[in-house]
Amino acid sequence: MTFLNPALLFGLLAASIPILIHLLNLRKLQKVEFSTLAFLKELQKTKVRKIRLKQWILLLLRVLIILFLVMSFARPALQSVSIGLGSTTKTSAVIIIDNSFSMSVVNEGGSYLNQAKAAAKNILNEFTEGDEVTIITIDGNDSESFTSSNKPLLLKNIEEIKTGLFSRDLVEPVKYSLEKLGASKNFNKEIYILSDFQTDRFTEQEEAAIQNSGNVKVYLLPFTGNNVNNLSINQLRSENQIFELNKAVTFTAVVKNNSSVPSSNNVVSLFVNGKRTAQQSFDIQAGESIQVEFEQTLASPGFIDLFAELEEDDIQFDNRSYMKLYVPEQIKILALADEQNDLSYFNIALEGINNTYFDIEKSNTSRINSFDLASYNVVVLSGNNYAGNIQKLRNYIEAGGSVILFPGASDENADISEITNGLNIPTPESFVKSDESFFSFGQVDYEHPVFTELFEDDKKQIDSPDIYKYLKIFNKGRGKTIISLLDGAAFLSEYSLGNGKVLLFSSLPTLSWSNFPVKGIFAPLINKVVSYLSFAKSKSDRYIVGDEINVSGSSLVQPQVKVIKPDNTEEYIQPELKGFNKMFTYPNTDINGIYKFYNELKLFETVSVNLDSRESGGSYLDIDEVEELLAGLNSELNIIELDKNDNFSEKISQARFGTELWKLFLIIALALALIEMLVSKSSKKDMAAVKG
C-alpha cells in the first residue's frame, strides 16, 4: 500500500496528543473519602480496575481515530504506478475517437459520435498541468500533441470532429499511439479508444509487435447497445461488356442486410445523370446479400453518372453506391497494315454497318511511330513492319489501350513471333497452309461478350468458314480462347497486358486466307470485337474513399485542371503527368460520389468513388476479443474497460494510482469516534459513581 498525498502523513504526529494527555492525567491525585475500609477494598477490586481499563481503551480509540483520519487525507491505495511518485507523475495520453460513419447511429443519448465526443471532453478533465494529450480520429485527421494548459484548443479539436467517410482499421491508430508513447519521457502512458468496435474495422494484422512502448494503460470505451437497422448497397455494377445507344443495359445493385432481423418492403432506386429512372422493391433476410437488377436504355453518348439508392435507415451514409460509364460519340480506330488491302474487308465490315460511329484512320505499319496511340480507342495491326516499335505498342496496351492483331498478308511475312514475344503472348508454333483442303472452327465460347445479341438464345451456332492458312497458336493458359480450330489451336483469342487487352486472330481476313470475310457472321463479329475493346475501360474503376485516383492526362490542352467534387466544391490543380499515357494522381477523395475533371471548360474524365463496405458491418467485438487483438501489438498492455455511464474520474484515478482506500479509512475513523463516545460516556458514569 502507498499514499497519493504522502506529505499529509506528518499529521500522524498528532496521534501522540492523546497519549500525552493520558500521561498528564495520571499525575493528578484525587482525594476520595470512603466510609469504611471494606468499601475501599471493594472499590479497588471493581471500580478502579474498570475505570483504568476504559481509560486505556479510550486512549487507544483516540489514537486510532487520529491515525485513520490522517491516513484517509493522505489517500492510501493498494497499488501505485510508482511508489513515491504519487499524483505528481506526468501523463502522456492519446485519445482515439472513432468517427467512422457507423458511429452515426442514434439512440436515446444521441449519436454514438456525439456521445464519444462528450466522453472525450470529460476525460480531458483528468489531466493536470504538464500532461501531454493527443487527439486522433479514425479518418486520419490527427491533432498535434498539446499540454493540458491548452485544454481550450483540445476541446475545440474535439468539438470540430465530424463523421468521416474514410476510416482506417483501428489497429493503425493504436500502433501509431504506441509508437508515440514509446518516445515519451512521462511515466504515465495512456490510450483511450472510444469506438463501437466493429468486427470488420479491427482486423488482426500480420506485422511485428510493438515493444518498448513502456507501461501503457489502454482504456476501452464501447458505444453500442442498439439493434442497428442498416441496409447497405455494397456495389453497383453493369452486367454488360458492350454499351450501345438505345439498347437495354442491365445494372445490378448488391444490397446487404447488416442487421440481425429480416427486412421487408424495401425499395432501391436507380438514378442516371441525377434522375430517377427505375426502382425495385425487395425483401431480405438477416445478414443476407441479394442482387437487385435494373434494365436501362442509354439514350445519349458521353459521360454517364449512375447511383443506386436505398430508403432511410439507421445509417444513412451507405445507402448509395456510385458508378460511371463513358459511351464515346465516335470510336477512333487506327488501322495499320503492311499493305492496306490486308485490312480492306475489316474496314468494310465497320464502315458498312455504321460509317459515322467508327472513325478509321488507315496507314502503313512502318509509320506507327508517327501516331499518338493514346488518342485511339483501338489499334489494329496486320504484319510485322512495326517490330522496332514494340515497346511503344506495349506501353500503350499496359496503360489501358486495346489492340487487334492479325498476321501479315504474304507467307513470308506471316510470322509475328517477334511481336507476340514482345507482348508476352503465346508465340505461333508454325504457319499452316493447304491448297487442297481447308480447316474449320472447333469450339466457340458463345458466352464471351463479343457474341452479345448476335444470336437468338436457342440458335447459337456459327457456320464455320473454310480456312486455308493460319498461324498455329495455343494460348497455354496465358489467355482465353474465344474460337478454336478443330486441332485445338486458337482462331480468336484474348490476352491481358497491364490494364489493356489484345485480341489475336490467327488468320488474316482476306479471301486468300479464308472465306471468313464473306460469311454472314463476319461483319457483326468484327463490329462487336471493336466495340468490346472500346468499352473495356469505360466502366468504373473500384475506388473507395481515401484512395488516390489515377487519371489520364493525355487529352490536356492546358496544365491546369479543375476538379468538381461530389459536394460541388471546386479545386484547381496542376498535375504532374507521368508515363506513356500521361497519368496523374488525385488524392483528395474524402467523400463518396462522382469526381469530375475539366480542362479548358471541357469535361475529360469522371471517376466514381464509393465507401468501404466493411464499415457497414453489423457485428461488433466484445472486450475480450479486443484485448486479444491488442495483445498482438504489445502483450504488456494494461487493458481497462470503461462504461459511458461510469464516473471517469474515479475509474481513471484508480487505474493510475491503484484502489484508493480513503473512504474506508474515513468510515473506520468515524466508527471509532462513535465507539469512543460510548466508552467515554460509560467511563464518566463510573467516575461519578466512585465520587459519590
Q: Does pLDDT of 337 surpass 70?
A: yes
Q: How much is the average pLDDT of 403-421?
A: 83
* Residues 238, 222 share a domain: no
Question: Does residue 311 or residue 201 have the better pLDDT?
Answer: 311
Question: Does residue 357 or residue 456 have the better pLDDT?
Answer: 357
139 Cβ partners below 8 Å, 6+ apart? 99, 100, 164, 165, 166, 167, 168, 590
* Residues 338, 284 share a domain: no
Task: Please tell me the predicted confidence (pLDDT) of residue 87.
Answer: 47
* Residues 548, 515 share a domain: no
Question: Does residue 64 or residue 547 have the better pLDDT?
Answer: 547
Lowest average pLDDT, out of 14-18, 438-442, 466-470, 676-680, goes to 14-18
Q: Which of 591, 610, 629 is the last residue of a domain?
A: 610
Strands 331-337 and 358-364: parallel
For residue 276, the enclosing domain spans 231-325
Question: Does residue 441 or residue 583 have the better pLDDT?
Answer: 441
Q: How confident is the model at residue 202 (pLDDT cuts 50, 70, 90)?
A: confident
Percentage with pLDDT > 70 across the chain: 83
Task: Please tell me the predicted confidence (pLDDT) of residue 299.
Answer: 84
Q: Does pLDDT of 2 surpass 50?
A: yes
* Residues 262, 139 share a domain: no
Instruction: For residue 254, give the C-alpha cell.
Output: 448488391
CA distance 648 to 125: 9
Task: Please tell me the predicted confidence (pLDDT) of residue 80.
Answer: 45
152 Cβ partners below 8 Å, 6+ apart? none
Q: Which of 506, 534, 562 is the last residue of a domain?
A: 534
Q: Does pLDDT of 389 surpass 90?
A: no
Q: How confident is the model at residue 404 (pLDDT cuts 50, 70, 90)?
A: very high
Question: Domain with 146 in it: what CATH number?
Answer: 3.40.50.410
CA distance 180 to 178: 5
Q: Does pLDDT of 461 surpass 70?
A: yes
Per DSSP, the residues of 433-500 read: E-SS--B-EEEE-TTSGGGTTTS-TT-----PPPB-EEEE---TTSSEEEEEETTS-EEEEEEEETTE
Question: Domain with 346 in it: what CATH number?
Answer: 3.40.50.880
Q: What is the pLDDT of residues 160-200, one digit of tens each?
A: 999 999 878 888 888 888 888 888 888 889 999 999 998 88
Task: Please tell me the predicted confidence (pLDDT) of residue 284.
Answer: 96
Overall pTM > 0.85: no
Q: How confident is the model at residue 205 (pLDDT cuts 50, 70, 90)?
A: low
Q: What is the pLDDT of residues 73-130, one digit of tens each?
A: 766 665 544 444 444 578 899 999 999 999 999 988 899 999 999 999 999 988 888 8
Task: Please tell me the predicted confidence (pLDDT) of residue 4.
Answer: 55
Question: Domain with 584 in it: what CATH number?
Answer: 2.60.40
Q: How much is the average pLDDT of 14-33?
A: 62
Among residues 105, 107, 94, which one has the least CA distance to residue 170? 94
Q: How confident is the model at residue 59 (pLDDT cuts 50, 70, 90)?
A: confident
Task: Please tell me the predicted confidence (pLDDT) of residue 145.
Answer: 59
386 Cβ partners below 8 Å, 6+ apart? 336, 365, 366, 368, 393, 419
* Residues 211, 238 share a domain: no
Average pLDDT score over the chain: 84
Lowest average pLDDT, out of 54-58, 157-161, 475-479, 595-599, goes to 54-58
Q: Which of 294, 325, 356 is the last residue of a domain?
A: 325
- Total tally of structural domains belonging to the chain: 5
* Residues 652, 665 share a domain: no
* Residues 315, 449 share a domain: no
Q: What is the pLDDT of residues 588-632, one digit of tens each?
A: 999 999 999 999 999 999 999 999 998 888 788 888 888 888 887
Question: Does residue 59 or residue 523 have the better pLDDT?
Answer: 523
CA distance 686 to 19: 21
Buried b / exposed e along 300-333 (16+ C-beta atoms within 10 A): eeebbbbbbbbeebbbebbbbbbbbbbbeeebeb
* Residues 244, 217 share a domain: no
Percentage with pLDDT > 90 across the chain: 42
* Residues 185, 165 share a domain: yes
Q: What is the pLDDT of residues 643-678, one digit of tens each?
A: 888 787 777 877 776 555 667 778 887 888 888 788
Note whether 147 and 130 are within 8 A (CB): yes
CA distance 150 to 128: 11
* Residues 263, 160 share a domain: no
Task: Please tell me the predicted confidence (pLDDT) of residue 411.
Answer: 65
Note whether 436 and 482 are within 8 A (CB): no
Task: Please tell me the predicted confidence (pLDDT) of residue 29.
Answer: 46
* Residues 686, 624 share a domain: no
Task: Please tell me the predicted confidence (pLDDT) of residue 88.
Answer: 54
Mean pLDDT: which of 46-55, 211-220, 618-627 is highest? Answer: 618-627
Backbone angles phi, psi at 406, to 5 degrees: -120, 155
Q: How confident is the model at residue 540 (pLDDT cuts 50, 70, 90)?
A: low
* Residues 462, 344 share a domain: yes
